[in-house]
Amino acid sequence: MKSFQLKGGIPLKGQVRISGSKNTALPLIAASLLTEEPVILKNVPNLEDVRTMVDILKHVGVAVSFRDGTMAITPKSGLGNHLPYESVRKMRASFNVLGPLVMRHGEAHVPLPGGCAIGPRPVDMHLEGMRALGIETTINHGVVSAKRIQTPDAQTFHLRIPSVGTTEQLLSIAVLMEGAEVVLNNVALEPEVQEMALFLNRMGARIEGIGTSALRITGVKRLFGTEYEIIPDRIETGTYLLAALVSRGDVELVGYHPGHNVTLVRKLQEMGADIRESENRIRARYLRPLRGTDIHAEVYPGVPTDLQPQLTVLAAVSEGVSVITDTVFTDRFVHVDELKRLGANCSVRNHTIIVHGVDQLKGAPVKANDLRGAAALILAGINAKDQTVIQNIDYIFRGYEEISSKLRGIGAQCELVEEELAS
Ligand code: EPZ
């Protein structure tokens, strides 16, 4: 385990290049199992979660090479169809290989993913949807076994919640249900899900309604290899915009995807931040004290839940009172107690964070408990007076490529330290 040491209170200035999107790369790598032909993915971020997904593919016998952001995946025939608990325990997204493996083999066995620091994360809807699509599922000793028993001619499945993972899982099944007409209603609208549908169509799938809440899929016999470029990471984008503002600095992000952060940008402008966009760039400048506000993290196009912990930090150093809720993960609040150690005046009541802004946080030792919580603590340390040491920082490597050097490039004084050496 590593720690992250930061000396805060320095306005960040300069440019940061945004990496490829983790939550786009992961489902696309999993969906590459749907063809026997080579798939080339470009702009793939070099992250811990991506490496975990690569290990899973290798575990089932797929050849993968990954260098300088380009991943070549050659699934071949005769794949394995059992996943070890270790991979699903490490990363919930590994559950998403279940659909592709069932469609390749007729059956597959994947351990149930557990809950985590952001709250319970069941897979009931995944299984419900699979059953509707003619796949029998049973759970034995913590392992989900899925077996294809029939192909319905036509089926409509309504998602109880517009779940990202469920939409992706069911898409990867429906595309290979040859001759069947499947309608998925109330699907997730997140750009990462739309990218998955566009990627599948590039492989020869027939998905209509992309970008709307109803997807119509006509199953085909086989999918083909393709080449695809991963979009920029909108959560990394948001995190660096917030880093600029909590540091009271001026940072431009390059390789930005206009349109993917509209609600966030509006919220930051409402708080008084100066945000300017031009083509593939976005710049955040702190010109005056920011005002606290109400923040509701919700499904796309709302403010993303994956930015809620980082926004809590901005609220903590903005004037007045902010009220923060998260309708996706209603108890994603594990960062709040750590922020209090840094002098934030915030508390959780009835699934709501109440924040009273302070002028500046104060450095202290803290501990990360999850990926986005770790990002929030880094932002807090960037703002804080004196030194902050964040233990368990390894979570950050799951989702932020080269964060330490990117931050140093815009003037942050920060360093990764092996835990036993950390003070
Ligand atoms: C994806 O997780 C992301 N992960 C998460 O990012 C993100 O927080 C989440 O979507 C919401 O945007 C990846 O894309 C790899 P969901 P996912 O299914 O697919 C409930 C990060 O930090 N639900 O949309 O697992 C669930 O409990 C990660 O990068 C069920 O009840 O999220 C949650 O309340 C963390 N039953 C809601 O739906 C189910 O069967 C939305 O979850 C499935 C989900």
Cα(77) to ligand 1 centroid in Å equals 31
CA-CA distance, 203 to 416, in Å (whole number)? 41
Indicate which atom in ligand 1 lies nearest the CA of residue 125.
40
Cα(276) to ligand 1 centroid in Å equals 30
Residue 62 pLDDT more than 90?
Answer: yes
- Per-residue confidence (pLDDT) for residue 364, from 0 to 100: 97
pLDDT band at 1 (very low <50, low <70, confident <90, very high): confident
**Mean of pLDDT values over 415-423:** 75
Q: 77 and 11 in one domain?
A: no
**62 falls within a domain:** yes
State the CATH number of the domain containing residue 196. 3.65.10.10
Per-residue pLDDT of 381-399, as tens digits, reads 999 999 999 999 999 999 9
**Mean of pLDDT values over 61-80:** 92
Residue 379 pLDDT more than 90?
Answer: yes
Q: 380 and 238 in one domain?
A: yes
Mean pLDDT in the chain?
Answer: 95
Per-residue pLDDT of 199-245, as tens digits, reads 999 999 999 999 999 999 999 999 999 999 999 999 999 999 999 99
Cα(35) to ligand 1 centroid in Å equals 26
The residue written with tokens 């930005």 in the block is 256
- Per-residue confidence (pLDDT) for residue 86, from 0 to 100: 85
**Mean of pLDDT values over 3-9:** 97
Residue 296 pLDDT more than 70?
Answer: yes
- Per-residue confidence (pLDDT) for residue 115, from 0 to 100: 62
pLDDT band at 90 (very low <50, low <70, confident <90, very high): confident
* Residue of 61, 93, 89 whose CA lies nearest to 77: 61
The residue whose C-alpha atom lies closest to atom 38 belonging to ligand 1 is 163
Catalytically annotated residue among 40, 72, 116, 321: 116
The residue whose C-alpha atom lies closest to atom 14 belonging to ligand 1 is 23
Per-residue pLDDT of 26-37, as tens digits, reads 999 999 999 999
Q: Is 122's C-beta closer than 6 angstroms to any atom of ligand 1?
A: yes
β-pairing, 294-297 vs 281-285, is: unpaired
The residue whose C-alpha atom lies closest to atom 1 belonging to ligand 1 is 164
Q: 175 and 249 in one domain?
A: no
pLDDT band at 121 (very low <50, low <70, confident <90, very high): confident
In the chain, the percentage of residues whose pLDDT exceeds 70 is 99
Indicate which atom in ligand 1 lies nearest the CA of residue 372.
22
Cα(270) to ligand 1 centroid in Å equals 28
The residue whose C-alpha atom lies closest to atom 42 belonging to ligand 1 is 163
Q: Is 26's C-beta closer than 6 angstroms to any atom of ligand 1?
A: yes
CA-CA distance, 346 to 64, in Å (whole number)? 46
Cα(163) to ligand 1 centroid in Å equals 6
Give yes or no: 346 in active site. Answer: no
**423 falls within a domain:** no
66-96 burial by CB neighbour count: b if 16+ within 10 A, else e? beebebbbbbeeebebebeeebbebbbbbbb
Q: 254 and 197 in one domain?
A: no
Q: 240 and 198 in one domain?
A: no
**391 falls within a domain:** yes
* Residue of 339, 370, 382, 338 whose CA lies nearest to 357: 339
Dihedral pair phi/psi, residue 371, rounded to 5°: -55, -60
Please, which residues bridge with residue 140 across strands?
143
Ligand 1 pocket check: which of 52, 193, 328 to mutate, most ligand atoms within 8 Å of Cβ?
328
Residue 110 pLDDT more than 70?
Answer: yes
Q: 236 and 211 in one domain?
A: no
- Per-residue confidence (pLDDT) for residue 421, from 0 to 100: 54
- Per-residue confidence (pLDDT) for residue 419, from 0 to 100: 78
Cα(121) to ligand 1 centroid in Å equals 7
Q: Is 163's C-beta closer than 6 angstroms to any atom of ligand 1?
A: yes
**249 falls within a domain:** yes
Q: 330 and 248 in one domain?
A: yes
Structural domain total, the chain: 2
Please, which residues bridge with residue 396 across strands?
none
235, 48 Cβ separation under 8 angstroms = no
Q: 265 and 206 in one domain?
A: no
**Mean of pLDDT values over 125-131:** 97
The domain boundary, picked from 180, 197, 229, lies at: 229
How many degrees, rounded to 5, is the angle at CA 203 between CA 163 and CA 157? 30
**40 falls within a domain:** yes
Per-residue pLDDT of 251-281, as tens digits, reads 999 999 989 999 999 999 999 999 999 989 9
Burial class (CB in 10 A: 0-12, 13-18, 19+), 330: middle
Q: 180 and 33 in one domain?
A: yes
**Mean of pLDDT values over 120-130:** 93
The residue written with tokens 């499904």 in the block is 299
How many degrees, rounded to 5, is the angle at CA 88 between CA 165 and CA 64? 85
Indicate which atom in ligand 1 lies nearest the CA of residue 163.
24
- Per-residue confidence (pLDDT) for residue 75, from 0 to 100: 82
Residue 336 pLDDT more than 80?
Answer: yes
Q: 328 and 194 in one domain?
A: no
Which range is least confidently modeled, 73-87, 314-328, 383-397? 73-87
Q: 303 and 191 in one domain?
A: no
Q: Roughly what angle, to the nearest 10 degrees, separates helices 234-246 and 371-383?
A: 20
Identify the H or E element spanning 39: strand 39-42
Indicate which atom in ligand 1 lies nearest the CA of residue 399.
29
Which residue range forms the structural domain that includes residue 49?
A: 22-229
- Per-residue confidence (pLDDT) for residue 219, from 0 to 100: 98
The domain boundary, picked from 198, 213, 229, lies at: 229
DSSP string, 377-421: HHHHHHHSBSEEEEETGGGGGGT-TTHHHHHHHTT-EEEEEEGGG
Q: 149 and 90 in one domain?
A: yes
**Mean of pLDDT values over 62-67:** 96
